Homo-oligomer: A and B are copies of this chain.
Amino acid sequence: MPKVPVDFAGPSYFGGKNDQLVLCAGKAGDIHVWDRESATLLHHIRAQALGSDLTCIAWNHAVEPFMFATGSHDGAVRIWTTPRPQRTHPASSEAHSQVTTTSNTPMDSSPALYDGAYTGSPVPQQGGANASDRPDESDKACACVTYPKTLCIAVVGVGLVGGEFINQLLNFPAPNPSRIVSLSSSKATLFSPDGLPINTSGWKDELAQSSRIPDFQVLCRDLCALVKSGQDVVLVDNTSSNVVAAIYPQFLKAGIHVITPNKKAFSAELSLYESILSASLESGARFLNEATVGAGLPIISTLKDLVATGDKIVKIEGVFSGTMSYIFNEFSTAKEGGPPFSSVVSIARSKGYTEPHPADDLNGADVARKLTILSRYIPSLRIALKDGYQSVITKSLVPPELEGTDTGDEFIRRLPEFDARFDKMRADAFKRGKVLRFAGVVDVNAKVIKADLEEYNVSHPFVTALGGSDNIVMFHTERYGARPLVIQGAGAGAAVTAMGVMSDLLKLI
């Protein structure tokens, strides 16, 4: 225990099996549990873990051998018990009807929950990683994992990514520091300041049955009322909507954090970006967007760490579009020839790798948006792109003749007319010993930011390491001089994108 004197407040209490434990609270709010016979201090829970002074403490002798409650100055009641390897969503747990916050009990004891403040698996612990998981020692085990704050989460967009995110959140191992206070699709919305009574199997129906129409002004007002000490509010935008992106500053100003895989806000004109930053600066609310580049891959967090720790970014280059990655991995290889461009695009579309209208991928805008997002984290490029992604030098692979084609079907039907052009590019590159890749480059010193069809040597990682619809990003920096820092993996898909959103959320805990 800490080698500091402790002022004990009030009487001590006997408890545990056969009253073999002694419980007492320190004046500062610490909780001490001793073994009655040996006088050994078995547990010392620091006031810091509670976040507030204790005002009362009491054993529950009725329910089970080891359970006590504390009340604290902030009005919270916390139930402390032996850790159980079970998974309970607080909102659905009867035991929670008596407590004021959702982050209390029943609690999973996995010690890793504290290491990094959030790790642990959403499945029940198997085997027991420490003594406290073993029933025979349960009397000696005491662990109340309390998070320093509760997160109230409003989810906008409940499609593939949104749905996966909601499920990941509902499956978070207890104690779950978050509660979902709002869900919104394009048609309906739900709101409950105390958390929606939903579970993974029922939330879609609940939302579908709501007669409330989504209104972001109302949502902002409702969420604003929840911002208070010890309780953070987060807007999770899982749409790709410009409309939602445009109102981030309003939410941020109100002290509401924004987490999103939506590229629109950070890749639009500089003015929106600056109003997001100044709103965030003003209120202290955070804007996190890991999943806007490379989905769940740690690309933005790595770039932030490189910059924040004083490394100098020299160049970032990568294959940032899963669609473009797939198309060129199939179309251009180290071998001569290959399938026609149109057939590769057609197959990609049938596999769901492209947007319904493939021109929305082939125009390069998605890559330009990602480059915009990345470049704005680099101090010297922060204001380089006044018009956002539209300021990025971008090669469109949409044949000029097909610009404005109304439907994806018509685009696919007519694309074979242009196969010869793509064939020639591939053949020319092959003659030079090169392979085609649609890559994004941020050259910091030259201040060149471009999304272009590039030629790479057959030994280049973009040729040798890529497969499927992988993203790959290479950070060339002062520290990673001769050999870049490389991150590679699936850069799209609901599960991995939702993971990127979740990992941002975990940064707030």
Contacts and interface: CB of A to CB of B under 8 A. Distances in A.
Interface of A: 1-4, 43-46, 48-49, 109-123, 125-132, 143, 145, 168, 171-172, 220-221, 224-225, 227, 229, 253-255, 274, 277-278, 280-284, 286-288, 296-298, 301-302, 304-311, 377, 379-380, 382-383, 459, 461, 464-465, 467-468, 470, 475, 479-480, 482-490, 493, 495-496, 498-499, 502-503, 506-507
Contact of A224 (B3, B110, B118, B132): B3
Contact of A380 (B126, B284, B475, B482): B126
The copy count of this chain in the complex is: 2
A112 B277 contact: yes
Contacts of A224: 2-4
Given A45-B282, A468-B482, 19 more contacts: A2-B253, A4-B224, A44-B282, A112-B277, A115-B287, A115-B288, A116-B288, A117-B286, A118-B308, A123-B379, A130-B274, A132-B278, A298-B298, A306-B499, A309-B502, A461-B464, A464-B465, A486-B488, A486-B489
Contacts of A479: 296, 490, 493, 495-496, 499
A3 to B, nearest CB: 6
Contacts of A48: 227, 229, 255, 283-284
A499 B303 CA distance: 12
Nearest to A1: B253
Nearest to A217: B3
Nearest to A287: B115
A288 B382 CA distance: 31
A489 B484 contact: yes
Nearest to A306: B499
Contacts of A475: 489
A476 to B, nearest CB: 10
A92 B8 CA distance: 41
A64 to B, nearest CB: 21
A255 B120 contact: no
A113 B282 CA distance: 12
A269 B506 CA distance: 29
Nearest to A118: B308
